[in-house]
Amino acid sequence: MAFMLMLRRLILSCLCAGSMHTSAAEIPEVLASCARQNLPESTSTQSIELRVMDRSHYEQVLEADIFLKRFADNRSRVMMYFNEPVDIRGARFLIMENQPHNDMYIYMPGLFKVRRITSRNISSSVMGTDFSYEDFERIQGMLSNIRTEQLPDAELSGRPVYVLMGYPDETSGYTKIASYIDKDSCLPLKTEMYEHGDHLRKLMTIDPADIRKAGAVSYPAELLMKDLRDKTETRLVVKNIHIDTEVDDNLFEPEQLKNTKVPPVNP
């Protein structure tokens, strides 16, 4: 459920980040409560596929497990472990929620060391996908460098949506991010990411037909990220999800990132 919860946390972070023209109190409480109630009590785990297609339509499939844990200080940590393909098997990517900026680390087996990701690398691709480090960080809802305003409600794919416009700070690779949030499921059916010059750079979409339920919680079985400039795309497919299961703290320690054994996520 981790990636679905990333989307939930994205909504919640936008709601709590403040606003340019709309006060936090004026943000619909129904949207805020919908996002809050779908956060995990403690942990979530998930297996995903990342189907990366280049501009020549060649597709490569990556497989990964995502582990999320909320710690006693109410800050979360997320670790992504790559299983396939063989050349990146064992690679790990860690985000530690912090202020004013999060801490991010990556371990590549071929380099035999853990490397810290700096702000200069934040717009770089994660393992050749169309998701940058910043994209994963923001989808987790683990960024506070964004001001938000609520725009008039709209309709998308025949469904009523809330519309939020976010404005990241100067460390971001984007100038603004528009989110179209389904009123029924509280999932962002469309997210538009604009770069300098207000050019639409990336587009992330969820087909309403791909929305599933796990108990009372809605999640996307698939979502699509398109890089409109590079003419590439990455389809994220959820294989299985688990919530509030036991997860070892060592999975989220930079010092242990290289050596800690990562358990399989049960189907």
Tens digits of residue pLDDT in 98-136: 877 788 999 998 888 899 987 667 778 889 999 988 887
Q: What is the mean pLDDT of residues 157-173?
A: 87
What mean pLDDT is reported for the chain? Answer: 82
Q: Is 138 helix (H, G, I), strand (E, B) or coil?
A: helix
What pLDDT was estimated at residue 26?
43
For the chain, what percentages of helix, strand and coil (3-state, to nearest 5) are there?
20, 45, 35
- Domains of the chain, with CATH numbers? 2-39+98-239 (2.50.20.10)
Q: Is residue 63 a contact partner of residue 247, using CB atoms and an 8 Å limit?
A: no
What b/e readout covers 216-231, taking b as 16+ CB neighbours within 10 angstroms? ebbbbbbbbbbbeeee
pLDDT of res. 233: 98
CB-side neighbour CA atoms (13 Å) of 138: 28
Whole-prediction pTM: 0.84
Q: Which residues contact 10 (CB under 8 A, 6 or more apart)?
A: 138, 139, 140, 141, 179, 188
In the prediction, which pLDDT does 226 show? 97
Examine the pLDDT at 138 and tell me if it is beyond 80: no
